[in-house]
Structure 1
């Protein structure tokens, strides 16, 4: 069930914005705002993004959370960022490709609509329509058997608290840049995420939640490499990774002591 209509009406009144004011901001007729709030029509994606910005609310919360009845979600400011996406002439979301060379610029341009529209765009079949996707080209061999040049397609994560330990994510961070790692969520304990490489030659490291600008859960990958089954090493299990993390944390405590 979508709560878009009721949430729009509730938040608009809460902020003291009239239907006419909102219509002017969206460049539509006032009657269209009335139709949105009555559930007779729904705004297009570009208008929906503008509404989220004006009402200071995340898109997922606006659509899927009954704000008037349940109150606002207890989320941090970074979770209210409006995701910049590109659409085609039929108003369908494109998958934006962030190549290796574009990774550095992406840190500064991920919120810039003009910058994002200059990056390559494409569509893929068989992906759920309930998520927004972005593609990142891997550099380095820290996540073998995925080799450098592999394209990882991630689904946007609205809130860092939704990150599930043991799964792989592309994180856009202020400190480490754009990284693809297996992530363990310790935000509720110490405000940090623990990042582990599938290639055991790379040491795990921590990232503060406040330093994460975007998170994308890996859903698919594209590669021109066809691995030889005889060359494949047995991947580390989640239990193995958990033991590694415990050992590292014990070592860190000893060093601090």
Structure 2
């Protein structure tokens, strides 16, 4: 395992002293020295702080020789270690991110205290093998789901597992928290194309390196019942594919 070597290299390259890293972890400086010498290994909570501090995945930190082989391609990295909340029976709760809390979530999603401050609940008939999070939608870009709808997403560990054409909640450093239909072009150019089901919104692209978390939509909760007279229809996959082609052509012309 390359933890000790990678930690020492990343700390040095970032210009962070052992004392400064120790302060972030809440441990003695001698413990950082022990980590870097391979005499001790960080606990899971400490690994979470380390990966967030240096912007690496856990897999990269433990198994990839960063100094000699360079950083892995961003789209191959794991999403950062997930912070979860549990109940008194040690069952994972579904954490609810209300619309008003979405901005704060960008800064607090890795903070256990912040996560515990958000609403928690359980739902039946969801696989116990997955971790779920709920996000309240804003705007009308994903009709027929209306503002206020709660989308429950299943955590996706790696960006390469994104399936083109499926809907996801993405937590990104550039666009915030968004719910979109995603098309995976990471192997081609390291980017994702995000498409709204409402044809009035144009698709756009996000770099894989800007994605902090991604949740595959599995269910939704809404107090707005479908109206059979409502003529608003989501665009078809053929329409979406055509929009993607037009967007790529526009980007090519701009270059």
Contiguous gaps of at least 5 residues in structure 1: 1-9, 27-48, 63-73
Specify the SS of the correspondent of 2:171: strand
Conserved 8 A contact 1:11-1:55: no
d(CA) in 2 for partners of 1:199, 1:80: 28
d(CA) in 1 for partners of 2:117, 2:150: 18
d(CA) in 2 for partners of 1:164, 1:120: 29
Q: Name 2:105's counterpart in structure 1.
A: 106
Q: Name 1:191's counterpart in structure 2.
A: 190
Specify the SS of the correspondent of 1:79: coil
Q: Report the Cα offset of residue 78 of structure 1.
A: 5.1
Q: Report the Cα offset of residue 136 of structure 1.
A: 0.3
Conserved 8 A contact 1:78-1:213: no
Conserved 8 A contact 2:139-2:146: yes
d(CA) in 2 for partners of 1:240, 1:163: 20
Q: Which digits, 9 at most, give the CA deviation of each residue in 1:168-211, with x for residues without a partner?
A: 11111111111110000101101100000001111111110001
Specify the SS of the correspondent of 1:102: helix
Matches within 5 A, 1:199-214: 199-214=198-213
Conserved 8 A contact 1:192-1:207: yes
d(CA) in 1 for partners of 2:196, 2:49: 40
Conserved 8 A contact 1:84-1:112: yes
d(CA) in 2 for partners of 1:189, 1:164: 15
**TM-score under structure 2 normalisation?**
0.73
Conserved 8 A contact 2:47-2:58: yes
Contiguous gaps of at least 5 residues in structure 2: 6-34, 52-56, 63-71
Specify the SS of the correspondent of 1:97: strand
Specify the SS of the correspondent of 2:229: helix
Matches within 5 A, 1:56-135: 58=58, 76=74, 79=78, 81-135=80-134
Q: Which digits, 9 at most, give the CA deviation of each residue in 1:203-257, with x for residues without a partner?
A: 111110001100001000000000112214443222221111102221232333x
User: Against the structure 1 CA distance between its residues 201 and 148, is the aligned structure 2 distance closer, same or farther, given a 3 Å change threshold?
Assistant: same
Q: Report the Cα offset of residue 13 of structure 1.
A: 11
Q: Which digits, 9 at most, give the CA deviation of each residue in 1:12-42, with x for residues without a partner?
A: 9998867xx56xx76xxxxxxxxxxxxxxxx
Aligned residues: 208
